[in-house]
Amino acid sequence: MTSEADIFSGIPPLPEYTASTLEALRPLMADNRPFIIRGLVKDWPLVQSGLESGRAARDYLQSKARPIKFVASVGPPESKGRLFYQDDMSMNFRIGKADLSEIFGQIDQVETLADQPVIYMSSVNMKLFFDGLREENQIGFDTEDVLESIWIGTRTRVAAHNDFPSNIACVAVGRRRFTVFPPDQFRNLYIGPIDNTPAGRAVSLVDFHAPDFATFPKFEAALEHARVATLDPGDAIFIPSMWWHHVEGLSPFNVLVNYWWRETPRYLGSPQNALNHAMLAIRDLPEHERAHWREMFDYYVFEGGEGATDRIPEHGRGVLGPLTAEAAGRLRGFLIKTLSNE
């Protein structure tokens, strides 16, 4: 096995820029490749409180929290921050709910421990769980279609995964390390099950801190395409849609704020749902039938369907024409009806 130091020392860094506004980033994001933004959110009140201490950051967050239960993942010290599978493919952490003050009280007790257990609140909706936090700590998104989430916890290691939305992740407290891979590296990352995951997305089975190249030989090829970003408080990273990213909270207490958004209308639905249904309906068919459906998908989906519509009057093309919100709604209703009858 290769050591953690050997792995990360050999990965080139992402390109980095300095910016203070979202508008300055838009031309860079159009290239659809990840990059670091140094100092993007350095003036946030949350960042400034974290520079004072972890306790000060928790006090600030507590002052904004609504009086509702928060969901937290808790893992033993021997996991060394890795939220992952056990040998029987169950998770090595448990999930519970508590007041934020109670969760923070537990973090108070373990923050200085070298052998620290995992206490982690992931993807907390800032709009639903806090009052005024998102308004005081903003990067300038002005659309309701952006999901603003906060991630709070002790040292953590989140296995490489990808997300359909694009993402700007801002380090507010502590230091974080992102290791990113292009979308086409999924075959070399040894992705685990899609219906039994640590947090809703399929993850790489490779332990980046101790990669076993005998078990995962193609991971060496993935590393040739990897880039790394080590971020300090106030820094941010842009991760385009479908890029794989391994994420580590390196400090005893860490807070991340991220923004997810789609480049396409939300009414178009989730490609992952289409993939899941294709596995149900197509994957186990005889080979000659799969070959037919592969051609059908190329014709109607990947080639855009132009050949399928050139003899149909425009007013009669239905969902074969450009999908509007209304047409997408009709197609979704049709799918729900047919799926419920299967």
What are the DSSP calls for 295-315, one per residue?
HHHIIIIITTTHHHHTTS-GG
Mean pLDDT value across the chain: 94
pLDDT of residue 303: 86
pLDDT of residue 263: 84
Beta bridge partners, 161, equal 245
Beta bridge partners, 260, equal 147, 167
- The answer to whether 133 and 172 are in contact (CB under 8 A) is no
Instruction: Give CA–CA dist 342/339, Å, rounded.
Output: 5
pLDDT of residue 91: 98
CA atoms within 13 A on the CB side of 168: 24
* Six token digits for residue 337: 């009806």
pLDDT category at 72 given cuts 50, 70, 90 is very high
Question: 């300095």: which residue's tokens?
Answer: 18
- Report, as an integer, the average pLDDT of 10-17: 95
- The answer to whether 265 and 325 are in contact (CB under 8 A) is yes
pLDDT category at 20 given cuts 50, 70, 90 is confident
Instruction: Give CA–CA dist 184/3, Å, rounded.
Output: 25
Domains in the chain, start-ordered, CATH in brackets?
Answer: 4-263 (2.60.120.10), 267-340 (no CATH)
- pLDDT at residue 331 tops 60: yes
pLDDT of residue 5: 55
- Report, as an integer, the average pLDDT of 220-231: 98
- Report, as an integer, the average pLDDT of 131-141: 94
Instruction: Give CA–CA dist 151/122, Å, rounded.
Output: 5
- pLDDT at residue 1 tops 80: no
* Six token digits for residue 201: 């997305």
pLDDT category at 129 given cuts 50, 70, 90 is very high
pLDDT of residue 2: 53
Cα 205 to Cα 89, 178, 190, 274: the distances in Å are: 11, 17, 6, 24
Count the Cβ atoms, other than its own, within 10 Å of residue 298.
10
- pLDDT at residue 317 tops 60: yes
Instruction: Give CA–CA dist 148/258, Å, rounded.
Output: 6
What do you get for the CA distance between the two ends of the chain, in Å? Answer: 48
- Tens digits of per-residue pLDDT, 280-306? 999 999 999 999 999 999 998 998 767
- The enclosing H or E element of 26 equals helix 22-29
Instruction: Give CA–CA dist 112/114, Å, rounded.
Output: 6
More confident residue, 58 or 301: 58
Q: What percent of the chain has pLDDT over 70?
A: 97
Q: What percent of the chain has pLDDT over 90?
A: 79
pLDDT of residue 178: 98
Residue of 148, 185, 149, 206 whose CA lies nearest to 4 = 206
As a residue count, the chain comes to: 342
Burial class from Cβ neighbours inside 10 Å (0-12, 13-18, 19+) for residue 43 reads: exposed
- pLDDT at residue 162 tops 60: yes
More confident residue, 150 or 314: 150
- The answer to whether 261 and 146 are in contact (CB under 8 A) is yes
**What secondary structure does DSSP assign to 95-142, as a single string?**
EEEE-HHHHHHHHHHHTT-SSPPEEEEEEEEHHHHBSSHHHHS-----
Burial class from Cβ neighbours inside 10 Å (0-12, 13-18, 19+) for residue 2 reads: middle
- Report, as an integer, the average pLDDT of 2-26: 83
pLDDT category at 173 given cuts 50, 70, 90 is very high
- The enclosing H or E element of 50 equals helix 45-52
Residue of 70, 75, 61 whose CA lies nearest to 97 = 70
Would strands 118-125 and 147-153 be described as parallel, antiparallel, or unpaired?
antiparallel
pLDDT category at 4 given cuts 50, 70, 90 is low
- pLDDT at residue 239 tops 90: yes
pLDDT of residue 341: 79
pLDDT of residue 314: 85
pLDDT category at 308 given cuts 50, 70, 90 is confident
Q: What is the pTM of this model?
A: 0.94
- Report, as an integer, the average pLDDT of 240-259: 98
pLDDT category at 71 given cuts 50, 70, 90 is very high
DSSP-assigned letter for residue 199: S
pLDDT category at 66 given cuts 50, 70, 90 is very high
pLDDT of residue 3: 52
